[in-house]
Copies of this chain bind each other. A is one copy, B any other.
Amino acid sequence: MIFEVHIEVRHRAGVADPEGATIERSLPALGFDGVRDVHVGKSIRFTLEATDEASARSEVEDMCARFLSNPVIEDVEIHLREGAAA
């Protein structure tokens, strides 16, 4: 089976987010008011061949823990969707 995977990697609450802070400080100067709590993270998308959804999910969790995120300071949100067969 082919799965479409979307992973969002975010700074854990309380961890500094300099990029988000910079955006939040800059937007008013461009005339955009009313923006709060800006957080910037990474969005990773790919297709994954796996036998079923459970094994696809566990493989993606493993990828995140070992390579795609830093579990000490980042949280991940994993979205899986069955994709068109190859």
Contact = CB atoms under 8 A, between A and B. Distances in A.
Contacts of A10: 43, 45
A44 B40 contact: yes
Contacts of A44: 20, 23, 38-41
Interface in A25-48: 26-27, 30, 32-48
A45 B38 contact: yes
B63 A34 contact: no
Q: Which 5 A-B pairs have the closest CB atoms?
A: A34-B49, A38-B46, A43-B43, A41-B43, A36-B47
Interface of A: 8-10, 20, 23-24, 26-27, 30, 32-50, 59, 62-63, 66-68
